[in-house]
Amino acid sequence: MRKRVMRLACVLALFFALLCGVIFLPTDDRRQAAGPLKSELQVGVVLYTGDDAFLNEMMAAVRKEIDDLNTGDWDITLVERNAGNSQSEENEIVSDMINEGCDILLVNLVDRNAPARVIETARENNVPIVFFNRELVRNDMGLWNRLYYVGGNAAESGELQGELAAALCESNPGVDRNKDGKIQYAVLQGEPNHQDAIIRTDMAVSTMADRGIVLDKLSYRIANWSRSQAKTQTLQLISAYGSSVELILANNDEMALGAIDAYRQMNYTETDMPKIFGIDGTSVGLSAVADGSLDGTVYNDKEAQGKALVNIAITVARGGDLSAMHLTNGKYYYADYYAVTAENVSDYLKQ
Ligand code: GAL
Ligand code: CA
């Protein structure tokens, strides 16, 4: 009995000692003991599809930014959805995310020409939106003053691809396999109406022409950013033109890789294959540049875009000042692109 009382007394004494320790701690230490006060934020993000290689890599960059902030004084929850390529589905998702309490939305439109419903819902609920990667027209951006955009500078990506292809034609006369003084070329294009598809094609071709390369257009084919669609399109190209294709400009790496898949399936050797260029610098794209199967790509800076998305989101949510970000017209962030060849690919593979 006595032992029991002693034991209880000891436990109580220990408990009071601990309690006093906490109560008499200086305020700062006490806060530390309870964990620092964090700014809570719920960010909703919706992608046009779950199947886009580049965007999936960009989302990894966004998550990393948020994880870094959460080790500091933020407590950000990221709610992720994809619209399965349907704008009406995306409209619903936007309403749902707002009802679930998201403070700010990052929206990758399915149809960049149809943002009206999304903007209306956001405005009614006063939830700001940072659109990204699929750029809406200026008029629509003007519909509300809490809309922002993050993307790449499409013209620059096309120009750099054109520079890479022109440099190869200049340094390697063997690219003109039939020696007719012209480069027989084909383009694999992304979705029709996508700013990156239209502008990249135009800029790549005009940059080559400006550098004095005489081009002979064989075929432009739409493959919607997709490796498998590009493979199908390239198999058709091969059956129509055989080995007379000397250059393929693809609007992204996935389609460039699809073209390589097609040539491999048809047992083309290195010497009979056209030169092939992509854009994005996805991990598979960069590996293909490193092993020589892809002649070059243009790095679509997913880290810079991920950082810009998260920075705009937290600044806007806090009602802070965006001026340090030097946004174009106060609302557009355009990341630079970088040319990647076998010589500098190791710098990008490290990222
Ligand atoms: C482009 C990118 C493509 C695809 C597309 C989706 O910027 O190069 O690979 O991700 O965006 O909108
Ligand atoms: Ca030729």
pLDDT in tens, 8-27: 554 445 444 544 444 444 44
Closest CA to 61 of 234, 344, 299: 299
- pLDDT tens digits, residue range 91-118? 999 999 999 999 999 999 999 999 999 9
The residue-averaged pLDDT of 245-250 equals: 98
Distance, CA 104 to ligand 2 centroid (Å)? Answer: 53
Characterize 187-211 residue by residue with b for buried, 16 or more Cβ atoms within 10 angstroms of its Cβ, and e for exposed: bbbbbeebbbbbbbbebbbebbeee
Answer yes or no: is the C-beta of 225 below 6 A from any ligand 1 atom. yes
Report which secondary-structure segment, H or E, holds 165.
helix 154-171
Ligand 1, from 201, 224, 300: best to mutate by most atoms within 8 Å of Cβ?
300
The residue-averaged pLDDT of 131-145 equals: 97
**Residue 329 CA neighbour count, 13 Å, CB half:** 12
Q: Which ligand is located closest to the Cα atom of residue 47?
A: 1
Answer yes or no: is the C-beta of 132 below 6 A from any ligand 1 atom. no
Q: Where are the beta strands (DSSP E) in 227-344?
A: 247-250, 275-277, 297-300, 332-335, 337-340
- pLDDT beyond 60 at 281: yes
Distance between CA 74 and CA 68 in Å, rounded?
9
Report pLDDT for 37: 83
Report pLDDT for 350: 78
Q: Which ligand is located closest to the Cα atom of residue 184?
A: 2
Instruction: Specify the residue with its C-alpha closest to ligand 1, atom 11.
Output: 133
Q: How far is CA 49 from the centre of its chain?
A: 13
Q: Which ligand is located closest to the Cα atom of residue 216?
A: 2
pLDDT band of residue 270 (cuts 50, 70, 90) is confident
Closest CA to 216 of 246, 239, 238: 246
CB contact at 8 A, 206 and 216: no
Answer yes or no: is the C-beta of 279 below 6 A from any ligand 1 atom. yes
Distance, CA 184 to ligand 2 centroid (Å)? Answer: 5
Give the alpha-carbon dihedral of 189, 191, 193, 196, to 10 degrees: -60
The residue-averaged pLDDT of 342-348 equals: 97
